[in-house]
């Protein structure tokens, strides 16, 4: 699903009106009519947001309309509600004389209908004093339509507008938002001081990033996209670069397996992982790759750890490698690893590997010299944190899978700074170093070297436990070994990993383990096909 920013949708609207010639009033009419249809579906007797035994026609609907085009959409909805015989009050958060353009035109049409519709009202509320006098009237409404601010909001909500939003939220009445809940930043999902908490939102042409990104997703409610008639070529010219992953994006990546297939048909992955106390990370990674459909997996570990890991990985093969006196891999492992890589399609590097000086040297040389696609996670990332320029000279695709703490070490920022601008920092990093960056966490991001970013909607807090990232690394690396591109493997791994977590959360919301994910992987893939 395409996600757009405020600037992109404004440019699309401008081109549709001024270059293509669709009148703004037509776009606004399409928006209001489409939103009304969604409103009736959601809050009518058969809608999942219905209000009980009373029909929608007996409910009182209060529309809060701002001075801009979002308010204009609200006036269109008000007209249609009045035509349906629904008791409608439009609260204009301004005075009539301050409206201009299409918003004013639709206000005048709504006003004419108010004059001819028993019980309908259009009430001006230009300041806090009048808001206070109208409070009881407002609270007698059964539902609210939020048409105050649109996608252009870029500063905190203050004054009596803030009071209006707090009044709506405090009423506990259902709120239907037009385009985006008022108070949300449409590009980041940030709450600009205060924001409407909507049960449902009708947005126009495309979903906005702020609908999906946290905390905006907690304010949007059920989201539907209303087609208002912007031509496709205008969208194509804008070249959107932010997307929400959907099952239809992932399912086509899995082709039916041919009858004559054998284990060599689905790639051979090499995993370099593990250190004393962290053998589980290596096992989870290797086993996850097998569960993801990889034909063969070889796990390279420090020699003294091989007897410990062999019982943990029944299907993957193990290879003991030279180690330091502390039981970690050293630079002496480089030549054996390079030999192992000669018939491999991908390398997964880092889970539980350790960060000793000798291991850091090994990791940097592998990054520099490995000619197959490389997935780096966990300690592998920590080992390379001070040598990021090595990524720019690589000849094969590179995927990094940091959690926010690891991302902070890579960028020399704080975790708080990373979390405050996840998309911006991750997208820029992927562009600068020409890697695929998988920034883990709630709403994991897949950022590609061409500037495109994909947001994963799957996953849940129950996955916040040790080992989940090791499973993800194995899945992504396993998909690459099977022939997926780096971008495809990252998207498939992240999305299916999240779905596995959601499957487990159906039984318990917490307490499931990373190892519980393993048998869910093939079932989840099968469910997509």
Query: What are the Cα distances from residue 468, in Å, to 209, 478, 491?
Result: 26, 15, 16
Examine residue 247 and state whether it is found in any structural domain, yes or no.
no
**DSSP labels, 395-410:** SS-EEE---HHHHHHH
Task: Tell me the chain's radius of gyration from C-alpha atoms.
Answer: 27
Q: Do 288 and 226 belong together in one domain?
A: no
Examine residue 132 and state whether it is found in any structural domain, yes or no.
yes
Q: Do 191 and 325 belong together in one domain?
A: no
Q: In this model, does residue 176 exceed pLDDT 80?
A: yes
- Whole-prediction pTM value? 0.91
- Report the CATH number that the domain containing residue 181 is assigned in CATH: 3.40.50.10260
Question: How far apart, in whole angstroms, are the C-alpha atoms of residue 150 and residue 183?
Answer: 9
Res 59: pLDDT: 87
Examine residue 354 and state whether it is found in any structural domain, yes or no.
yes
Q: In this model, does residue 65 exceed pLDDT 70?
A: yes
In the chain, the number of structural domains is 2
Q: Do 316 and 201 belong together in one domain?
A: no
Burial (0-12, 13-18, 19+ Cβ within 10 Å), 317: middle
Res 161: pLDDT: 97
CB 266 within 8 A of CB 259: no
Q: Do 222 and 273 belong together in one domain?
A: no
Q: In this model, does residue 288 exceed pLDDT 80?
A: yes
Q: Do 215 and 330 belong together in one domain?
A: no
Res 48: pLDDT: 47
Q: Do 55 and 167 belong together in one domain?
A: yes
φ and ψ at residue 106, rounded to 5 degrees: -75, -30
CB 142 within 8 A of CB 173: yes
Examine residue 256 and state whether it is found in any structural domain, yes or no.
no
Q: Do 200 and 271 belong together in one domain?
A: no
Consecutive H or E run containing 4: strand 2-4
Q: Do 110 and 152 belong together in one domain?
A: yes
Q: How far is CA 70 from the centre of its chain?
A: 25
Confidence of residue 45 (pLDDT cuts 50, 70, 90): low
Classified as helix, coil or strand, 165 is helix
Share of the chain above pLDDT 90, in %: 94
Examine residue 254 and state whether it is found in any structural domain, yes or no.
no
Examine residue 258 and state whether it is found in any structural domain, yes or no.
no
Any idea which residue has 């000086």 for tokens? 357
Examine residue 252 and state whether it is found in any structural domain, yes or no.
no
Consecutive H or E run containing 229: none
Q: In this model, does residue 47 exceed pLDDT 70?
A: no
CB 94 within 8 A of CB 124: yes
Q: Do 376 and 495 belong together in one domain?
A: yes
Q: In this model, does residue 53 exceed pLDDT 60?
A: no
Which tokens belong to 516?
Answer: 């519980």
**DSSP labels, 432-473:** HHT-EEEE-STT-EEE-TTS-EEE-----GGG-STTHHHHHH
Q: In this model, does residue 46 exceed pLDDT 60?
A: no
Q: In this model, does residue 52 exceed pLDDT 60?
A: no
Res 492: pLDDT: 98
Instruction: Write down which residue in 240, 275, 308 finishes a domain.
Output: 240
- Report the CATH number that the domain containing residue 421 is assigned in CATH: 3.40.1190.20
Instruction: Write down which residue in 205, 240, 275 finishes a domain.
Output: 240
Res 55: pLDDT: 54
Examine residue 466 and state whether it is found in any structural domain, yes or no.
yes
454-470, pLDDT tens digit by residue? Answer: 999 999 999 999 999 99
The residue range of the domain holding 518 is: 266-528
Average pLDDT estimate for 273-286? 98
417-442, pLDDT tens digit by residue? Answer: 999 899 999 999 999 999 999 999 99
Question: How far apart, in whole angstroms, are the C-alpha atoms of residue 151 and residue 499?
Answer: 31
Instruction: Write down which residue in 240, 257, 277 finishes a domain.
Output: 240
Q: Do 17 and 166 belong together in one domain?
A: yes
Classified as helix, coil or strand, 104 is helix
Consecutive H or E run containing 263: none
Which tokens belong to 337?
Answer: 């690893």
Res 57: pLDDT: 61
Q: Do 364 and 480 belong together in one domain?
A: yes
Res 325: pLDDT: 87
Q: In this model, does residue 212 exceed pLDDT 60?
A: yes
Q: Do 220 and 127 belong together in one domain?
A: yes
Query: What are the Cα distances from residue 33, in Å, to 83, 93, 120, 204, 373?
Result: 12, 22, 19, 11, 50
């Amino acid at each position: 699903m395409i996600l757009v920013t405020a600037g992109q949708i404004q440019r699309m609207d401008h081109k549709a009106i001024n270059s293509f010639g669709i009148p703004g009033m037509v776009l606004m009419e399409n928006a209001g009519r489409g939103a009304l249809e969604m409103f009736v579906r959601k809050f009518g007797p058969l809608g999942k947001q219905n209000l009980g035994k009373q029909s929608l026609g007996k409910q009182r609907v209060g529309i809060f309309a701002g001075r801009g085009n979002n308010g204009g959409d609200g006036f269109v909805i008000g007209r249609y509600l009045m035509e349906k015989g629904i008791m409608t009050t439009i609260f204009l958060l301004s005075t009539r004389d301050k409206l201009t353009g299409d918003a004013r035109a639709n206000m005048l049409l709504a006003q004419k209908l108010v004059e001819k519709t028993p019980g309908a009202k259009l009430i001006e509320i230009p300041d806090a004093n009048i808001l206070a006098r109208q409070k009881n009237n407002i609270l007698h409404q059964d539902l609210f339509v939020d048409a105050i601010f649109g996608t252009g909001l870029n500063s905190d909500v203050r004054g009596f507008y803030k009071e209006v939003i707090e009044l709506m939220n405090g009423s506990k009445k259902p709120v239907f938002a037009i385009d985006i809940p008022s108070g949300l930043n449409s590009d980041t999902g940030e709450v600009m001081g205060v924001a409407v908490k909507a049960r449902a939102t009708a947005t126009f042409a495309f979903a906005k990033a702020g609908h999906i990104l946290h905390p905006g997703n907690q304010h949007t409610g059920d989201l539907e996209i209303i087609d208002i008639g912007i031509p496709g070529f205008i969208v194509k010219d804008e070249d959107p670069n932010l997307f929400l992953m959907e099952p239809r994006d992932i399912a086509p990546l899995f082709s039916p397996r041919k009858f004559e297939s054998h284990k060599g048909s689905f790639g051979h992955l090499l995993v370099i992982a593990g250190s004393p106390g962290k053998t589980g990370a290596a096992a989870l990674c290797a086993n996850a790759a097998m569960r993801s459909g990889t034909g063969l997996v070889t796990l390279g570990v420090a020699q003294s750890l091989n007897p410990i890991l062999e019982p943990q990985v029944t299907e993957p093969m193990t290879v003991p490698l030279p180690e330091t006196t502390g039981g970690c891999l050293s630079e002496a492992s480089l030549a054996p690893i390079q030999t192992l890589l000669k018939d491999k399609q991908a390398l997964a590097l880092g889970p539980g590997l350790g960060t000793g000086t000798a291991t850091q040297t090994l990791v940097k040389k592998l990054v520099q010299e490995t000619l197959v696609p490389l997935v780096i996670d966990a300690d592998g990332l920590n080992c390379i944190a001070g040598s990021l320029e090595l990524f720019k000279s690589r000849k094969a695709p590179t995927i990094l899978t940091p959690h926010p703490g690891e991302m902070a070490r890579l960028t020399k920022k704080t975790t708080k700074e990373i979390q405050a601008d996840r998309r911006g920092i991750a997208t820029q990093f992927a562009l600068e170093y020409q890697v695929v960056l998988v920034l883990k966490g709630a709403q994991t991001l897949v950022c590609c070297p061409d500037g495109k970013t994909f947001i994963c909607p799957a996953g849940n807090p129950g996955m916040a436990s040790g080992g989940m990232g090791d499973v993800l690394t194995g899945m992504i690396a396993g998909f690459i070994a099977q022939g997926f591109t780096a971008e495809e493997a990252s998207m498939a791994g992240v999305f299916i990993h999240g779905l596995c977590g959601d499957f487990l959360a159906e039984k318990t919301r917490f307490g499931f383990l990373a190892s519980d994910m393993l048998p869910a992987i093939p079932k989840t893939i099968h469910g997509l096909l």
